[in-house]
């Protein structure tokens, strides 16, 4: 569990995002959390120079569907420089939590290995809803902001590594 503000970043260490295009795939499950994460990412993109029209949002039903949504987004928009997968899975009383978290983690990893567009993991896997609230705009800041900063840095890495 994060104990610092996830929203804190130094803009002098982040590339200007004005020439980049980003996709954000958002799970509709736990919408009070995932919409907060989306907003944190969206606001950070704009703060770092991204243009509003260069940010695409797609919704999917749940976190497990993020994998397919991100795969389709990376293949549908050749001009995207990075994609963020936004979701929230909260521990319950069954093993469903473990299966979903493991599947989503491995699926996002596979997209990064197989594709050319970075897919950033912004899926909260918390024990309680309060922990998720605290990390999606609450007392610990916003993990979505952190994901946007990672997306900008990976987009720059992708651009710099083109031959």
- Copy the structure tokens of residue 55: 């940010």
Distance of alpha carbon 75 from alpha carbon 81, whole angstroms: 12
Instruction: Note if 96 is an active site residue.
Output: yes
Distance of alpha carbon 8 from alpha carbon 10, whole angstroms: 7
- The DSSP letter of residue 3 is -
Of the listed 96, 98, 109, 130, which one is catalytic? 96
The answer to whether residues 21 and 80 touch, using CB atoms and an 8 Å cutoff, is yes
Pairing of strands 82-90, 119-126: parallel
142 closest CA partner among 39, 29, 31, 57:
39
The answer to whether residues 9 and 144 touch, using CB atoms and an 8 Å cutoff, is no
Give CA separation, 114 vs 26, 88, 94, in Å.
21, 24, 32
Catalytically active residues, by annotation:
96
């Amino acid at each position: 569990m994060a104990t610092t503000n996830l929203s804190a970043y130094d803009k002098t260490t982040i590339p200007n995002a004005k020439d980049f295009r980003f996709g954000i795939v958002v799970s509709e499950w736990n919408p009070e959390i995932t919409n907060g994460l989306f907003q944190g990412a969206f606001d950070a993109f704009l703060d770092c120079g991204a243009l509003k029209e260069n940010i695409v949002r797609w919704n999917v039903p749940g976190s497990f569907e993020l994998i397919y949504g991100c795969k389709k987004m990376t293949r549908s928009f050749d001009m995207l420089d990075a994609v963020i997968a936004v979701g929230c899975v909260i521990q319950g009383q069954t093993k469903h939590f473990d299966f979903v978290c493991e599947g989503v983690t491995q699926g996002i990893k596979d997209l990064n290995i197989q594709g050319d567009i970075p897919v950033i993991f912004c899926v909260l896997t918390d024990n309680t809803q309060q922990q998720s609230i605290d990390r999606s705009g609450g007392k610990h800041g916003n993990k979505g902001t952190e994901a946007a900063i990672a997306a900008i840095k990976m987009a720059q890495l992708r651009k710099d590594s083109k031959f």
